[in-house]
Amino acid sequence: MLNATLKELSAQLAAKNISSVELTGEYLARIERLNPSLNAFVALDREKSLAQAKSADALIAAGKSSLLTGIPFAQKDIFCAHGWPTTCGSKMLANFVAPYDAHVIEQFNRAGAVNLGKTNMDEFAMGSSNETSYFGKVKNPWNTDAVPGGSSGGSAAAVAARLAPAATGTDTGGSIRQPAALCGISGIKPTYGTVSRYGMIAFASSLDQGGPMAKSAEDCALMLNVMTGFDPRDSTSLEREKEDYTRDLEKPLVGLRIGLPKEYFAAGLSADVAQAVEAALAEYRKLGAVTVDISLPNSQLAIPVYYVLAPAEASSNLARYDGVRYGYRAPEYGDLADMYGKTRAQGFGAEVKRRIMIGTYVLSAGYYDAYYLKAQKLRRLIAQDFSAAFQQCDVIMGPTAPTTAFNLGEKSDDPVSMYLSDIYTIAVNLAGLPGMSIPCGFGSTKLPVGLQIVGDYFAEAKMLNVAHQYQKATDWHLRQPL
């Protein structure tokens, strides 16, 4: 059952070959056995999960189930879930228990799914390696000396190690796609605004977007069917008709135009990753696709633009953690200003402090125009590059990350090198486009390589079709580490 697709699990549950209580129990037992060595989960509640599973079994017995009813899912610990700890990987929220459900959690609850537990993550989603969590580093299931990627590293590791059939993640600059690539699973960041951010703890509000992480593109499509939808509580939620993201999965790829940005195959890309990506492109040509050389001339500006805009928004969003209303408060202080200072100094980790300081600086008087405003103008140019590229192609492909998973601690003292891990993913967030990563092979160190697929706005169904057809022709997504 651990390798079954969501459709297969649903069929087994519908046929009464296994109950949701039994299935959930199997995963909880596997988590109990393997999580101590991976640290993928930070919150588990056996009673809550099994109670949900029991309710799901009742729905199935009454003939009121949907496709995901009774299937357990891991939830990134950035989504508020009523009665569950919601820590965002931070000491600041270490004791916070959510009093309400995020929209994404509500959607899974309506579908009758089971919350298997909350997964570890970089603190406030700030990181590319899942080493900044207050609750300790997450290990890559393929090699526990390596990082799983971040910030959704806990979700990626959980799916790769078969601790959960699938999981939710969030992506601000690549935080679904990069860990999906490093852990050898599939993950998609949908078009900005298609998944509600209500109840999703904010890092950078104009960039954050929730999405699914699973073994296959088809599983991601089934999850997107549940996760998307208009939510009036989120001012950035797009009012669009619900889509069936599985509708185009079986379409042939004959005539598909794949754009290859020259900037994604230049210096900085490791040879083993390039080789795996080239092999994947050759497979696509066999499936009838054609490749087109394109250029994204402003893509080299994506990282500096992102590390002005994202910290600026983080500085604003994280101002609410002051020890007054909720979250951590310093145990000893003099006056109110002293409490603010000590609470934030003690409650936030080093990477979060770094980004708050950068963000406060670029928003300060005298620097706003020079940095923040200029970055917003460059963001528009980056989006225009993609618009021009989609006049020549249907999807854009390239590596998800420049290397396979690096070792734990390898880049901890070099923030710039760490930031470069997201060099191919960040521009997609800045433009608000959908992007996904699927496994396409292994590097020289026997660690997974991810292929990134980028589509035009609202082209998720097309991207999932492109990914699914590749996965029907290959078996990289079926490989597992444990």
Residue pLDDT, tens place only, 145-168: 999 999 999 999 999 999 999 999
Whether the pLDDT of residue 410 is over 90: the answer is: yes
206-209 long-range contacts (CB < 8 A, ≥24 apart) are: 206/236, 206/309, 206/313, 207/172, 207/173, 207/306, 207/309, 207/310, 207/313, 207/429, 207/430, 208/125, 208/170, 208/171, 208/172, 209/170, 209/171, 209/172, 209/429
pLDDT band at residue 412 under the 50/70/90 scheme: confident
Q: What is the mean pLDDT of the chain?
A: 97
Please give the CATH number for the structural domain made up of 6-254: 3.90.1300.10
- DSSP assigned state of 425: T
Tell me the pairing of strands 448-454 and 435-442: antiparallel
Whether the pLDDT of residue 71 is over 90: the answer is: yes
Whether the pLDDT of residue 415 is over 90: the answer is: no
Tokens 């679904």 belong to residue:
176
> What integer pLDDT is reported at residue 323 of this predicted model?
94
Model confidence, pTM? 0.97
Q: Please state the domain extents for the chain.
A: 6-254
Q: What would the mean pLDDT of 17-42 be, rounded to a whole number?
A: 98
Amino acid at the residue 120? N
* Cα gap 448→101, rounded to integer Å: 34
What percent of the chain stands above pLDDT 70?
A: 100
Whether the pLDDT of residue 482 is over 90: the answer is: no
Which residues, in sequence order, are CB contacts of 23 under 8 Å at separation 6+? 1, 9, 12, 13, 53, 70, 71, 72
> What integer pLDDT is reported at residue 267 of this predicted model?
86
Q: How far is CA 100 from the centre of its chain?
A: 22
> What integer pLDDT is reported at residue 420 of this predicted model?
87
> Active-site positions?
76, 151, 175
* 385 CB neighbour count, 10 Å cutoff: 22
Whether the pLDDT of residue 274 is over 90: the answer is: yes
* Cα gap 129→131, rounded to integer Å: 5
